[in-house]
Chain A
Amino acid sequence: GAGVSQSPSNKVTEKGKDVELRCDPISGHTALYWYRQSLGQGLEFLIYFQGNSAPDKSGLPSDRFSAERTGGSVSTLTIQRTQQEDSAVYLCASSLWGPTDTQYFGPGTRLTVL
């Protein structure tokens, strides 16, 4: 596609529910990244994929967060037993080769946990 796409654009859920966020990177991009941005805050790195493997999961805030990437393309970020502090905009980015390349961001998914 022309750019990184994410779905849903908005998600409202109740505390304790599980949510899945999806990211479609730019076609041909081998690296994929997840970040989150809380209101008025900077971007917080969550996880990075090179192909289907995740060399760096250090940013995942707890074991309630997990992510996978299949076929070297689409990625899903799953948050189990959501908490109110999980409310944020979750941003996905992709780059052509890897970490030193420019990362292009998707529009984000705004998650609200009630």
Chain B
Amino acid sequence: QKEVEQNSGPLSVPEGAIASLNCTYSDRVSQSFFWYRQYSGKSPELIMSIYSNGDKEDGRFTAQLNKASQYVSLLIRDSQPSDSATYLCAVNQGGSSNTGKLIFGQGTTLQVKP
């Protein structure tokens, strides 16, 4: 089992729709969770970070964390063509093994069609 799993996609949504990106992780004591966006040929840029169970909203983005179920999701409302990119879920190992290693999923490619 991969430590951080994402559906590679592509996930295709029409402009203006809600895009839902999901991620599951295996390390139960993980404490920090991040969503990065990566445009083709570019480096990852942070979209959201979340540390506590529940929802965290920032503009059109909402991150959701459920530690009991070991999943984290990212919702993008009113999707725009400029949102088309690969979205990387990253989980920082927690507990006594917290050594700084940020484990990334393989990424989900999102395509927003005009």
- On whether the two chains bind one another, the answer is yes
Interface positions of A (Cβ within 8 A of B) = 31, 33, 35, 41-43, 45, 48, 50, 55-56, 58-59, 91, 98-100, 102-108
Contacts of B106 in A (CB 8 A): 41-42
Nearest first, the 5 closest Cβ-Cβ pairs linking A and B are A48-B100, A99-B100, A56-B99, A43-B104, A105-B43
Is the CB–CB distance between B100 and A31 below 8 Å?
yes
Is the CB–CB distance between B88 and A99 below 8 Å?
no
Return the contact of B100 from the options A42, A43, A55, A108 (Cβ within 8 A).
Answer: A55
Query: How many Å lie between the Cα of A70 and that of B105 in the bound state?
Result: 31
Return the contact of A105 from the options B44, B49, B98, B105 (Cβ within 8 A).
Answer: B44
**In the complex, what's the smallest C-beta–C-beta distance from A34 to chain B, in angstroms?**
11
Is the CB–CB distance between B98 and A102 below 8 Å?
no
**In the complex, what's the smallest C-beta–C-beta distance from B45 to chain A, in angstroms?**
7
**Which of B77-109 touch A at CB < 8 Å?**
88, 90, 92-93, 98-107
Contacts of A55 in B (CB 8 A): 99-100
Contacts of A43 in B (CB 8 A): 44, 88, 90, 102, 104
Is the CB–CB distance between A33 and B100 below 8 Å?
yes
Is the CB–CB distance between A58 and B101 below 8 Å?
yes
Is the CB–CB distance between A100 and B31 below 8 Å?
yes
Closest chain B residue to A55, Cβ basis? B99
Within 8 Å of chain A (Cβ to Cβ): is B7?
Answer: no
**In the complex, what's the smallest C-beta–C-beta distance from B87 to chain A, in angstroms?**
11
Contacts of B25 in A (CB 8 A): none
The digit string for B44-55, where 1 denotes a CB below 8 A from any CB of A, is 111001010000
Is the CB–CB distance between A105 and B104 below 8 Å?
no
Contacts of B12 in A (CB 8 A): none
Contacts of A35 in B (CB 8 A): 104
Return the contact of B98 from the options A33, A58, A99 (Cβ within 8 A).
Answer: A99
Contacts of B46 in A (CB 8 A): 102-104
**In the complex, what's the smallest C-beta–C-beta distance from A54 to chain B, in angstroms?**
9
**In the complex, what's the smallest C-beta–C-beta distance from A22 to chain B, in angstroms?**
15
